[in-house]
Amino acid sequence: MLSIYQYSGIIGGMNVDSLLTENIAPPGLKGLIVADTEVGSVRGDEGWYHYRGRNAADLARQHTFEAVAHLLLSGALPDQMAEEAFRAELGAARRLTPEAAEMVAALAQTDLPPMSVLRSVLGMEVDPRPTLDLDNDERRAAVMRAIGITPTVLAAVNRIRSGAAPLDPDGSLSHSADYLRMTLGQTPLPGHARAVETYLCLTADHGFNASTFAARVITSTGTDVGGAMGGALAALAGPLHGGAPGRVLDMLRAIGHPDNAVPWIAAELDAGRKIMGFGHAVYRVADPRSETLKTVALKLGGDLVDRALEIEARVLDYLAEWKPDAVIVTNVEFYAGVVLHLAGLPQETFTPTFTTSRVVGWGAHLLEQAANNKIMRPSARYTGLLHNGD
C-alpha cells in the first residue's frame, strides 16, 4: 500500500506525476477566484466593499433597504418612482398563503431552528420549477418571493414561540419597519427602524462568503430558487458564519465592567476559545460595517454602548500585544449585537435578522449565476492510499 505521494506511474490511464503538479486550492478556498461577478466584492486590505461598484457603507448610510435591494437585484439605484414600485412589490411578496401560515404555526411548535422552518416554507411558497426552465423575469419573481416571505416567517416563528400570535405583514411599511413590527408586535420607533435598516443594508451582500458560494454552487445545477436559498440558509445557520452577534452580547454581559475585559479575554484565549466580534478572514484594516454600526450605536446611546466602546478599546489593545504580528480588527458582529439589542430585538432573532438581509445578496448572485450558467465541478486532491495490484 503506497501513498499517492510515494507512487509514480499510470493509474486508470492517468499519469500520477501530472496530478502532483496540478494547482492546489488553499484551505477553505481562501482568496481563490472561482467566478466572475458584477454584484460586488470586498477589498479587505483597503477596508472597503461595494455593491455594483458603489461604496456599500455609504449606501447603508444614505439609502433605504429597498433602494439597496433594487441596486443589487437590478443593477441600478432606483429613482423615486421605481423605488416606490419596488417597495410595493416587496410588500406584497411578504404575505404568506394560508397553507404556508398553517405550516409555520405547526413547525414553530417543534424544536426546529427558525432557519429550518424557513427552508420548509420556501419549498411551498417559491416557484418550484428549476431555474434552468425559467426566463429571467420568472427567476426574479421567485427571488422576490423568497426575499419577501423571509422576514414574515422568521418573525412569526419568534412570536409563536414567545406565546404571541403572529402578525400579518403591512405592505404600507418599509421592509425593515415591518420586520420589526411583526417581530415585536408593535410599530417600532423611527430611530430603531432606521438602525435596523442600516444593518440590513450593510449586510445584504459581502463577496463570496460561505452561504453566497453555496447558493451559487446549488444554482449552477439548475435547481429551483427555493432549493438554492435553502442551501444558503443551511450555511448561514452555522455559528462560524451567521451566529456571532448573539455571542458578542453574551460576551459583553459576561465581562460586565470594562475593567474585567482583559482578564476575561486572556482566560478565553488561554482556553483556546475564539473571541467573537474580533478578527476577520478578509479585513486587514477597520471593517467598514463595524465602523458604520458603531456610529449607529452612538446615536442610540446608553450604558451598553458606553461599555461596548470601552471594552472594544481594551480588547484591541490586549490583542495587539498578544499577537503583535497579526492585524486583528473589530468585525461587524461586535456592534451588530449592540444595535440589534437596542432596537428591541431578542437575541434569538439576531441570526434571522441577518438572514432577512443576506437573502437579497443570495438572490442577486443566484440571478447572475442562472443567467450565464455553467455547472460548478471542481476537483479534489486524493490523499488516501493506492492499492497496486490488489
Q: How far is CA 215 from CA 13, 27, 150, 230, in A?
A: 35, 20, 16, 8
Residue type (1 letter), 105? A
User: CA angle 25-29-30, nearest 5°?
Assistant: 115
Catalytic residue at 89?
no
Tell me which amino acid residue 32 is. Answer: L
Closest among 224, 246, 265, 255 to 349, alpha carbons compared: 246
Q: What is the dihedral of CA 378, 382, 388, 390, to 10 degrees?
A: -90
Q: Which of 33, 86, 77 is nearest to 54 (CA)?
A: 77
Q: Which among 50, 206, 280, 341 is annotated as catalytic? A: 280
Q: Determine which one of 333, 341, 365, 368 is catalytic.
A: 333
Query: Which residues does residue 49 pair with via DSSP β-bridges, in sequence order?
Result: 42
Task: Say what angle helices 244-255 and 261-270 make with each other, to 10 degrees.
Answer: 120
Query: Quick check: is 310 catalytic?
Result: no
- Taking the C-alpha atoms of residue 174 and residue 149, their distance in angstroms, rounded to an integer, is 14
Catalytic center residues: 280, 333
